[in-house]
Structure 1
Amino acid sequence: MNIATTPAEASTAPLARRIADFAVALDYDLIPAKVRERARIQMLDGLGVGLASNAYPFAARAMAGIQALGGAGDCGVLGRPERLPLRDAALANGILIHGLDFDDTHLASIVHATAACLPCALSLGEHLGAHGRDVLVAYAAGMEAAIRIGAAVKGGFHHAGFHATGIVSHFSSAIVAGKLLGLTVEQLVSAQGIAASTAAGVQVFLEEGAWTKRFHPGWGAVAGITAAHLAQHGFVGPSRPYEGKFGLLETHLQTHAGEADPALIADALGQRWDLADTAIKPYPVCHFIHGAADAALELRAEVPDPRAIRSIRILLPGPTLPIVAEPAADKARPQTDYAAKFSAPFVIATCLLRGRFGLAELEPAPLADPEVLALSARSHCEADPDTAFPAYFSGGVELELSDRRRLRRHVRVNGGAGERALNIAGASSKFLAAAGMHLPPAAARRACDAVLAIDMKPLRETMPALVGG
């Protein structure tokens, strides 16, 4: 029998229990209309990026490896004709949604929240024949869990060498899957406990621009689906996977464990909707660079000839420097498109020279552009003393010109975040541009309209617009 936690017990109940209480009780009508709209916008953004990924070699190579695991199934893959078994489809969709690092980020959590929830919601929802509104509810429940876990560790996963989305996606996917499967509170507690034994994702990919980051949220979806099914059939997981001795916060934060605030994981669940604050990326690069990229683009209008730039001082949130600025020699000359996404010098140099930074700027020719690389080499990165991090990914750029003039811009609220968040029109424009890399314009438009009405019909009626064949 499902017995929810009483108000008197809530503050002392294990965190997994409090999340389970929230998720099991959540209903479509309990989600404010504005939050549902933001959820549709964020789903649209993730699906558009997922479609665009098919224009890149990693998509076909990932599909070949996934197909080698098993046969055909009943679940679709974004932009592709293949039908895969449930967990394989979730893995494939996760790789596509996160593969370009162009998907959304909750800034305070430093988590790609949609990538941590949507692959599971999409594949399991289709597999179960769920209605789109139930998929949206499950997605929303997972988003709130993902964001709060990320917020509670205060950047600690990254500091300890883990990719936060790679960790959090196991738990959020267990919540999404448990909601769609109709798990009881007790079963959903166990599912989170089981997920604690699969959560992983090291950041060693940063050394050479390897592809493993792309794989992390899809693998989290596989683990979450597995955990929920095991729990549904009586498999017992620990009830305190977050705060227990040798639980997530202790093992994965290591020396940073004392900096965490576990209470944030269940803080105001169902009362404050953090998913609505998730930022959509205007640039296909690490979100930590976005404020500085905004600043560089503003400065470009004042520099008619970028060749007159003698040096560039890039101001970034201090805790992000090891990820986007170090080691300096490697960041100045990224060897792959993925390494370039995590290079503040390369991104800022490109913005100053080209006046833009989109997916086209990550193609082989721009990556090898000697003018960009020369300007990148004249850059250095420092901690921003005026940053609003982690609330926003602030950034600044200071230029010294050949005539010794200095120009400076600082952006406190990066584009796509806070009061600069993309609305439906802005998100639709980004979707059409991204999806249009793989789909004909009319097909991209149909897909956009279908996603914006995703909660109005069974998911299986939406999926044909999102898959090939």
Structure 2
Amino acid sequence: MAHNHTTASHAPAENIAEQLAEFAMGVKASDLPRPVWDKSVHHIIDSIGIGFASHHFAFAAPGLKGIAVAGGLGEASVIGCSLKLSARDAAMANAYLMHGLDFDDTHPGSIVHPTVACLPAAMALAEVQDQSWGELIAAYVSGMETCIRLGLAVKGGFHHAGFHATGLLSHFSAAVVAGKLLGLSASEIVGAQGIAASTSASVQVFLEDGAWTKRLHPGLGASAGITAAHLVRNGFKAPRRPYEGRFGFFETHMQTHVGDVDYDAIVAGLGRDWTLLDTAIKPYPVCHFIHGAAEAALRLHEQVPDKSRIVCITCELPAATLPIVAEPAAAKVVPRSDYEAKFSAQFVVAACLLKGRFGLAELEDDALKDEATLALASRVTCIEEPDSPFPLHFSGAVSVELDSGETLTCRIPVNLGSGERALVRDDIVTKFHGTAGIVMSSERATRVVHALLDAKPETPVRKIVEMLRT
């Protein structure tokens, strides 16, 4: 079920941070509707599988080493290795791994990766404090609703202003998660959000050169959120109106567009309408903005057996996404790294047309240098898709013109993994084997995924996390 909200330019009558804090205080695992519990578990499994897979790629080791050296050893586990760090450093490390492949979930309306903005802080603190799986899920759900609803309020506005929304909002969601697990009062959780407004600043300059900072953004948020919760727990005086206050979060980050902020979207139906149910799990390891076009290209693969007959390719994308995944075109057609490839509609569409698949293997160095893929990518022109349902869904279309003059077109209005096309339990298990299976045996992957699926509310988090270590 999708949630649509009307635009409201007025500040709310009640303090937003207080309403989010009161909501978080009231969330109990035993009260969660079954679909919310199941959906949460599926998304947690998905992110953990991606965390394992990231160890296979070059970015993992330098980031983990830097985090470990800057901090120090502790009691919290890092997925896929023997390293144990302090809770906030482990949260940073796990967020880095979970977001490193840009294969993690996305909420279409808010354009955030919410699980990675909540789970790393929840895992680290619940392990260190020997809390239960149910306590972790309740904190995770509280953070998910916080992150998604703050994103819904701006309708993609952070991206247009040059900010990475997940990086920004992870500070607030992690503060709520940490506050709940640390047993803070509602007033203290307000304060933790107040501090988060001063640490939240994730710029998208990484798009220029494929730098690794986007991977780190939610980890910085996890670390800052945990720190904020501990600060207020120890008497630190924090701002009370971080969102709507003068020079607060929305005013400073939305600037001239602050009048477009829909404050009502943050609290409407809070605790009754679960926005996390609209979150989509990715079937392809590329920017979600490209998913509709990628699926269209995959469907056209079989219809064009001889790819040498392709004269030109037109890729239609939602207008707001073109600056991120299609421009500048000259750079997009020759991605220099796996991360640049993930944000190149031209490369992804060409690879899908040519190979009939797009998985992690299509991001390996040899695949990025494949001459046939690059030649086809140079024939892709990206244009605005008319009447796109974006951001409700990540739609897209691909048209292929052949040397005979014939044109084949495929249009995807609702991307796979979203809305009524959401991935189900078997899909989640299959994806886990495809991600975690890069670094572990099929037998071990099966044991891990079923331990996560079968965990009870009373299961100790430490018992589960132990299975995630090497």
- Structure-1-length-normalised TM-score: 0.96
- Matching residue of 2:301: 300
Contact 1:136 1:455 in 2 (8 A): no
Structure 2 stretches of 5 or more lacking a match?
Answer: 1-11
State the alpha-carbon separation in 2 of the partners of residues 84 and 27 from structure 1: 28
Q: Which residue of 1 aligns with 2:464?
A: 462
2:154 match: 153
Worse overlay, 452-461 or 154-163: 452-461
Q: Please list the CA deviations of residues 128-152 of structure 1 after superposition, one character each: whole Å capped at 9, or x if unmatched.
A: 1110100000000000000001110
Shift of 1:455: 4.0
Deviates more, 1:136-145 or 1:234-243: 234-243
Aligned match of 1:144 = 145
The one-letter amino acid of 2:356's match is G
Q: What's 1:57 paired with? A: 58
Paired position in structure 1 for 2:169: 168
Tell me whether 1:16 sits opposite 2:17 in the alignment. Answer: yes
| Larger CA deviation: 73-82 vs 26-35 | 26-35
Is 1:392–2:399 an aligned residue pair? no
Deviation per CA, 1:417-468, whole angstroms, max 9, x where unpaired?
A: 1111111111011011111111222211111012113444010010111111
Deviation string, structure 1 residues 44-71 (Cα, Å, up to 9, x no partner):
0011101110111111111111121133
CA distance in 2, matches of 1:67, 1:177: 21
CA RMSD of aligned residues (A): 1.0
CA distance in structure 2 between the partners assigned to 1:255 and 1:330 by the alignment: 31
1:334 and 2:335 matched: yes
Q: In structure 2, how many angstroms separate the alpha carbons of the residues matched to 1:304 and 1:235?
A: 65
Q: Distance in 1 between matches of 2:377 and 2:57?
A: 25
Q: Does the alignment pair 1:100 with 2:97?
A: no
> What amino acid is aligned across from residue 113 of structure 2 in structure 1?
H
Matches within 5 A, 1:267-278: 267-278=268-279
Equivalent positions of 1:10-409 (< 5 A) are 12-409=13-410
In structure 1, distance between residues paired with 2:348 and 2:260: 31
Q: Percent identity, aligned pairs only? A: 53
* Amino acid across the alignment from 2:224: A
Offset from partner CA, 1:217-261 (integer Å, 9 cap, x none):
011000000011111122121111111111111111123222221
What is the rounded CA distance, in whole Å, between the counterparts of 2:441 and 2:195 in structure 1? 42
| Native 8 Å contact 1:72 1:83 kept in 2 | yes
Aligned-partner residue type, residue 463 of structure 2: E
State the distance in 2 between where 1:414 and 1:70 align.
Answer: 41
Aligned partner of residue 398 in structure 1, secondary structure: strand
Contact 1:296 1:409 in 2 (8 A): yes
- Determine helix, strand or coil for the equivalent of 1:81: coil
Q: Which amino acid aligns with 2:127?
A: E
Moved over 3 A (4+): none
Higher mean C-alpha displacement, 299-308 vs 250-259: 250-259
Match of 1:3 in 2: none
Counterpart secondary structure, 2:41: helix
Q: Which amino acid aligns with 2:268?
A: D
Q: How many residues align?
A: 458
CA distance in 2, matches of 1:40, 1:369: 38
Q: Distance in 2 between matches of 1:382 and 1:401?
A: 19
Report Cα offsets for 1:341-367 as digits up to 9, x if no partner. 000000000000000100000111110
Tell me the residue number matched to 1:4.
Answer: none
- Taking a change above 3 Å as real, the CA distance of residues 455 and 69 of structure 1, as seen in their structure-2 partners, is farther
CA distance in 1, matches of 2:127, 2:150: 27
Tell me if structure 2 keeps the 8 A contact 1:40–1:454. no
* 1:29 positional shift: 2.4
Distance in 2 between residues matched to 1:361 and 1:273, nearest whole Å? 35
Partner SS state of residue 398, structure 2: strand
- For the 8 Å contact 1:134–1:455, the answer to whether it is kept is no
When normalised by structure 2's length, the TM-score is 0.96
- Helix, strand or coil: the match of 2:199? coil
Distance 2:420 2:340 in 1: 30
Shift of residue 35, structure 1, vs aligned partner: 0.8
Q: Deviations over 1:149-192 (max 9, x none)?
A: 11101111100000000000000000100110111110010000
Using the alignment, how far apart are the partners of 2:285 and 2:144 within structure 1? Answer: 21
